[in-house]
Structure 1
């Protein structure tokens, strides 16, 4: 769950900071709260917004704003990438493990010959 990085889709016309995934803290340090849109263009659509903005009823601000569905989609994509990376690491470690097993078998054979 990262925070700030480029531009996002919001309902205001000002440039907003882009948040990748589910936001936790705004750039101003305020917590993020969940709200429900009352706009005709997005009725009942859930979004995350800076608690400072919500409590002060600011308009056209540059604080964190993100639709919940977009945030969750980002999180799923991030977790999917992480799962693929971990699978690849496991495959690589299996190859190393197989190599170690092979070396152990060869070592045991050499040791048996030395004992004879």
Structure 2
């Protein structure tokens, strides 16, 4: 640890040198900063495992964690979120990156996705219905033309 080496002016001194006081204070803080940084030795943390992004885990209700495990539903017990449910991975305690998502947020995302999908399916159904009506109209016209052709063939055969 660093040594504190500064001098204080005596109380008998009439002229206080403010510069020397400021220098002494700066030296004191520098020594304290050096000693506290020397006292705390941080061990390097092992590098966290980086998993490939899993789109199934990011949108809506998660079905798979980044580590490949199946998420479970747990309940929060903090004062702020008491009783609120969330999805998390069973392997969350290993220090790696795992899924964690509020249940209500996930369900709302899933509902929005279903609404979007339902809207697209309705549009496709309406387009298919329009195509069916056009097809039925074409078949009806072809049927009428076919009966005209048959009538002409019969007339030609008679003649």
Query: Which TM-score bucket, shorter chain as reference?
Result: 0.7 to 0.9
Pairing 1:70-85 to 2, within 5 Å after superposition: 70-85=105-120
Q: Unpaired segments of 5 or more residues in structure 2?
A: 1-54, 152-159
Gap regions ≥5 residues in structure 1: 5-18
Structure 1 distance, partners of 2:94, 2:89, is 10
TM-score (norm 2): 0.57
Structure 2: distance between partners of 1:28 and 1:66 = 15
Matched residue pairs, number?
97
**Is 2:51 aligned against 1:3?**
no
Deviation string 1:41-75 (CA, Å, 9 cap, x unpaired) is: 2111000001101xx375xx631111000011011
Q: Normalized per residue, which structure has more strand?
A: 1
Q: Structure 1 residue 23 and structure 2 residue 58: aligned?
A: no
Q: Which has the higher helix share?
A: 2
Could you tell me which residue of structure 1 aligns to residue 143 of structure 2? 108
